[in-house]
Amino acid sequence: MLSRGRSRGPYEAAVLRTLREAGPSSRTRISEITGLSQATISKAVGTMVDKGLLRESVAAEPRMGRPSVTLTPSADAVTVCGVQIEYGTIRLGLADAESRVRTVHSVPFDVTAQPSDVLDLIAAEIERMVAKDDGAPCIGVAVGIPGAVDEARRINRLTLNLGWRDVPIADHLERKLEVPVVVDHHVRLMALAEARYGERAGNGIAYLYVRQGVGLGVAPAGNASYTGGPAGEAFLGHTRVVEDGELCRCGARGCLETMVAEPYLRARLRRAGHAAAVPDGTAVLAGLHRLAAEGDPAAVEIETDVVRHLASALATVVNLFTPDLVLVGGIVAEAPGSTITRIRELTRERIFPLLREDLRLEPAHHSESASVRGAATLALEVSHYT
Ligand SMILES: [Zn+2]
C-alpha cells in the first residue's frame, strides 16, 4: 500500500497546468489565464506553497510599486511511477513532476504465468522501489503495455504476444497499492512523453517502435492537451504488406510485423544459417547489416525487405498524420546510421512531395527508458495535472 492520504485542493491542477504552459507567473497572471478570481487563486496558491508544491521568488524590480512575486512549480514535490510490461520483462521507474525518471530497473517474468500473478509481482516491485526511494510520496502509477486498452484506460483488452485478454490492470493494482492507476498503449505513451517534455517536439510526433511487434503512437505538440483516442493507438503492425505471406500471431498472413519485428527477423536469419552470427540479445539490425555488407545474399535480401517495409510504413504514417517529427525506437534505434539514412531516404521518396523537404526522421534516444518515462508522464497527467 502506497497511499499516505494525499488530499488535493480544488484548483491545484488548474494552477499547475497554467504554470506548466505559461512558465513561472505571478498570482495576477494565473488569475488572468484561469479566469478565476484573484482571491481564489491567492488562497489556492497559499496552500500549495505551504505544501511545497510551489516556490515563491521575489523579482527585485527597480520600478516603483510592489515587488512582483513569481510562482514556480517544485518538480520534486511529487513522485509518480511508470511501468512498462514487455514480453517477459517488466521495466519500472520513479519520476518527478517533470517526468525526469530515476531508479529504472527491470525484472523478468514467466510469459506463461497468469496475468494476476504478473500484476502481483508488479505491485510488490513498486512497493519495494518506493520504500527504498527517499523522494516525495508516490501519487500515481501508469502502466504501458503493447496492445489495446479500453477507453477508460483501465483494462488491457488484448495483447497478442502474452495472450492477455480483458485484464483489469488498473483495478488489480489499485486494490494493492491504493493510489490511482491507469493503463495505456506503450508507444502512445512514448509519443506523449516526447511531445510533452522532449526537446525536439514540434507540432506533433509520430513514434514507431519495433521489437517483438510494431507499435505506433501519435501525439500532439507539447502544450496540446492529451486526449488519447483512436488516433493515438494504431495497429499498423497488422497491415498486410505481403500477399500470402508468413502467418502472423494475429492470425492473418503477411502483416508488417512478419517482415520487420525482431522474432521474425531472427527466424529468417536462423533459416539462412546465421543464428550464431547475430546472437540473441545483440542489436539485430546491426548484425544483419554486417552480414549484408560482407555480401551474404540472404542477409542482403532480409535487410532490403526491412528497409523497404519500414519506409513504406513510415511514409503511410507521415502521409496520414503529417507529424513534425518521426521517431523510430526499439531495434530500429539500435540500427547503424547508414541503415537509418536509407530508411529516411526511402521514406522521403514515398511521401507527398510537399512533405519531403521538412521530413525529420530520427532514432529515439534512450529507447528503453522511453517506455517508463512515457508511463510516468501519463501518471502525472492523471494524478497531478488533472
Ligand atoms: Zn498480424
pLDDT per residue over 201-257, tens digit each? 666 889 999 999 999 988 876 555 455 454 456 789 999 999 999 999 999 999 999
For the segment(s) 77-192+370-383, the CATH number from 1.10.357.10, 3.30.420.40, 3.90.550.10, 3.40.50.1010 is: 3.30.420.40
CA–centroid distance, residue 161 to ligand 1 (Å): 11
What does the alpha-carbon distance between residue 230 and residue 119 come to, in Å, rounded to a whole number?
26
pLDDT of residue 82: 97
CA–centroid distance, residue 150 to ligand 1 (Å): 20
For the cut 80, the answer to whether the pLDDT of residue 60 exceeds it is no
What does the alpha-carbon distance between residue 111 and residue 121 come to, in Å, rounded to a whole number?
13
Domain ranges of the chain: 12-73, 77-192+370-383, 201-359
pLDDT of residue 370: 84
CA–centroid distance, residue 7 to ligand 1 (Å): 45
pLDDT of residue 62: 55
CA–centroid distance, residue 358 to ligand 1 (Å): 31
CA–centroid distance, residue 239 to ligand 1 (Å): 7
CA–centroid distance, residue 206 to ligand 1 (Å): 21
The fraction of the chain above a pLDDT of 90, given in percent, is 75
C-alpha cell at 109: 517474468
For the cut 60, the answer to whether the pLDDT of residue 95 exceeds it is yes
Range name among 137-141, 191-195, 293-297, 377-381 with the lowest pLDDT average? 191-195
CA–centroid distance, residue 245 to ligand 1 (Å): 11
For the domain made up of 12-73, give the CATH fold.
Arc Repressor Mutant, subunit A (1.10.10)
Q: What is the 3-state secondary structure (H, E, C) of the chain?
A: CCCCCCCCCCCHHHHHHHHHHHCCECHHHHHHHHCCCHHHHHHHHHHHHHCCCEEEEEECCCCCCCCEEEEEECHHHCEEEEEEEECCEEEEEEECCCCCEEEEEEEECCCCCCHHHHHHHHHHHHHHHHHHCCCCCEEEEEEEECCEECCCCCCEEEECCCCEEEECHHHHHHHHHCCCEEEEEHHHHHHHHHHHHCCCCCCEEEEEEECCCEEEEEEECCCCCCCCCCCCCECHHHCECCCCCCECCCCCECEHHHHHCHHHHHHHHHHCCCCCCCCCCCCHHHHHHHHHHCCCHHHHHHHHHHHHHHHHHHHHHHHHHCCCEEEEEECCCCCCHHHHHHHHHHHHHCCCHHHHCCCCEEECCCCCHHHHHHHHHHHHHHHCCC
pLDDT of residue 263: 96
For the cut 50, the answer to whether the pLDDT of residue 279 exceeds it is yes
77, 71 contact by CB (below 8 A): no
pLDDT of residue 126: 97
- Average pLDDT value over all residues in the chain: 90
CA–centroid distance, residue 275 to ligand 1 (Å): 24
CA–centroid distance, residue 260 to ligand 1 (Å): 12
pLDDT of residue 241: 95
Mean pLDDT of 140-168: 93
Of 22, 28, 23, 59, the residue nearest 42 (C-alpha):
28
CA–centroid distance, residue 255 to ligand 1 (Å): 5
> Are the folds of 12-73 and 77-192+370-383 the same?
no
CA–centroid distance, residue 265 to ligand 1 (Å): 15
83, 122 contact by CB (below 8 A): yes
CA–centroid distance, residue 248 to ligand 1 (Å): 5
CA–centroid distance, residue 299 to ligand 1 (Å): 23
CA–centroid distance, residue 99 to ligand 1 (Å): 33
CA–centroid distance, residue 50 to ligand 1 (Å): 54
What does the alpha-carbon distance between residue 374 and residue 267 come to, in Å, rounded to a whole number?
30
What does the alpha-carbon distance between residue 288 and residue 302 come to, in Å, rounded to a whole number?
8
For the cut 60, the answer to whether the pLDDT of residue 83 exceeds it is yes
What does the alpha-carbon distance between residue 138 and residue 154 come to, in Å, rounded to a whole number?
19
What does the alpha-carbon distance between residue 285 and residue 301 come to, in Å, rounded to a whole number?
13
237, 213 contact by CB (below 8 A): yes
Pairing of strands 89-95, 164-167: unpaired
Distance between start and end Cα atoms, the chain = 23
CA–centroid distance, residue 386 to ligand 1 (Å): 36
Mean pLDDT of 23-49: 93
What does the alpha-carbon distance between residue 355 and residue 352 come to, in Å, rounded to a whole number?
6
| pTM attached to this predicted model | 0.89
Cβ count near 210 (within 10 Å): 29
pLDDT of residue 231: 41
- The torsion angles phi and psi of 371, rounded to 5 degrees, stand at -70, -40
C-alpha cell at 352: 507527398
CA–centroid distance, residue 237 to ligand 1 (Å): 6
Per-residue pLDDT tens over the stretch 105-136: 999 999 999 999 999 999 999 999 999 999 99
- The torsion angles phi and psi of 207, rounded to 5 degrees, stand at -125, 120
CA–centroid distance, residue 246 to ligand 1 (Å): 10
What does the alpha-carbon distance between residue 341 and residue 317 come to, in Å, rounded to a whole number?
18
For the domain made up of 201-359, give the CATH fold.
Nucleotidyltransferase; domain 5 (3.30.420)
